[in-house]
Amino acid sequence: MADQFDTIEQLDHDRLVLFVLDIFHRTLIHYGLWYREMEYQTGLARAIEADEDVFRTSLMVQMKRLSKVLGFEVDQDGIPRKLKDMDRDQLLELAKAQAVNWLANDGVWFQKIENMYDMASAKRINDTCWTHFSPYEAERIKLLLGLGQNSGLEGLRAALGLRNYALVNRQSIHQVDENSFIFQMNDCRVQSARKRRGLPDYPCSSVGNVEYPYFASTIDSRITTECVGCPPGDHPEEWYCAWKFTLNP
C-alpha cells in the first residue's frame, strides 16, 4: 500500500494561512533564482532584457488569476484598477511605504547574518549583494525613464532621484563644473536611527564604494565615481556621505 501524503485539506486554518503566504514567498525566491542564474550565464544586459518581458507577462498572469480569487478588477495588462485609480498622493505614499519595506528587508537580512556569524560576514554578503542590485536598479530606472546607454550626467542626476534610497533619505546634488557634480546624502535613515540611539556611524564606505560606482557606470560607462567622504571616515553635520561623479571624454 502506498504511503499517503499530507494535503492542504488536512491543514488547520492557521497553518493554511501560513501555507498561502509561503507560496508567495517561494514564488519570489524562485523568480529571483531564475534572474540570478540568467545574469550569471548570459550577462546583465541579456538578463535585464529577459526580466522586462518575464515580469510584464508574469505580472499579467498572476494578477488576473488573483483578481478572480480575491475579487478585484484588473485592466488588460493585469494592473489592478484600484492602483490605477489612486490619486498622486496615495501613489507617492504607497511608493514610499514600499521603499521603507525594502530597506527594512535589507536590515533584517543584515542583522540575521550578523547574529549567525559576525558583522564582517554580514558586511561581506551585503557588499556582494550590491554588486548585483545596484546595476539592476540602474537598468530598471533606465527603462522607466527611457534613457539610452550613455545619457551622461543628466541621466545620472535623474536616475539618482528614483532610487529606492531617494524615497527614504534626503539627498542633494551640487554642480562642480560642466563635467562633474557632487551627490550628498544629507539625511540617512539608517545612520540617523543609530545617532538617535547614541551609536556611532555604521561604517558603510565598503558598500558605498560598490553601490555608487556600479550604479553610475551602468547609467553611463563614461562616468567615474570618487568618494568625497563616507563613514567610518569623518564627515560634516550636513551630510553622511558624498560622492563626486565625473563624465570623462
Do residue 113 and residue 69 come from a single domain? no
For residue 74, what is its C-alpha cell? 484588473
pLDDT at residue 59 is higher than 90: yes
For residue 3, the model assigns a pLDDT of: 60
Run of H or E residues at 175: strand 170-177
Do residue 195 and residue 210 come from a single domain? yes
Do residue 57 and residue 97 come from a single domain? no
User: What values do phi and psi take at 229, rounded to 5?
Assistant: -175, 145
**Residue 3 in domain:** no
Do residue 238 and residue 118 come from a single domain? yes
Q: Average per-residue pLDDT in the chain?
A: 95
Domain that holds residue 112: 87-249
Of 39, 57, 85, which closes a domain?
A: 85
Do residue 192 and residue 226 come from a single domain? yes
For residue 42, what is its C-alpha cell? 548570459
For residue 6, the model assigns a pLDDT of: 72
CA angle, residues 146, 30, 74, in degrees to nearest 5 = 55
The whole-number average pLDDT for the span 113-120 is 96
Per-residue pLDDT of 172-202, as tens digits, reads 999 999 999 999 999 999 999 999 999 999 9
For residue 8, the model assigns a pLDDT of: 87
Of 40, 57, 85, which closes a domain?
A: 85
CATH number for the domain that contains residue 193: 3.30.1380
Per-residue pLDDT of 31-44, as tens digits, reads 999 999 999 999 99
Domain count of the chain?
Answer: 2
**Residue 5 in domain:** no
Do residue 81 and residue 120 come from a single domain? no
Gap between the Cα atoms of 52 and 150, Å rounded: 20
Q: Are 164 and 99 in contact (CB under 8 A)?
A: yes
Of 68, 85, 102, which closes a domain?
A: 85
Do residue 75 and residue 170 come from a single domain? no
pLDDT band at 2 (very low <50, low <70, confident <90, very high): low
Q: What percent of the chain has pLDDT over 70?
A: 98
Distances (CA, A) of 3 to 9, 11, 108: 17, 18, 40
pLDDT band at 5 (very low <50, low <70, confident <90, very high): low
Do residue 77 and residue 108 come from a single domain? no
Global pTM value: 0.92
**Residue 139 in domain:** yes
Do residue 103 and residue 80 come from a single domain? no
For residue 59, what is its C-alpha cell? 505580472
**Residue 4 in domain:** no
Do residue 124 and residue 67 come from a single domain? no
Quote the distance between the C-alpha of residue 46 and its chain's center.
19
Find all residues with CB under 8 Å of 33, minimum gap 6, and list them: none
User: What values do phi and psi take at 79, rounded to 5?
Assistant: -85, 125
The whole-number average pLDDT for the span 76-88 is 95
Do residue 70 and residue 147 come from a single domain? no
Do residue 81 and residue 157 come from a single domain? no
Gap between the Cα atoms of 195 and 234, Å rounded: 15
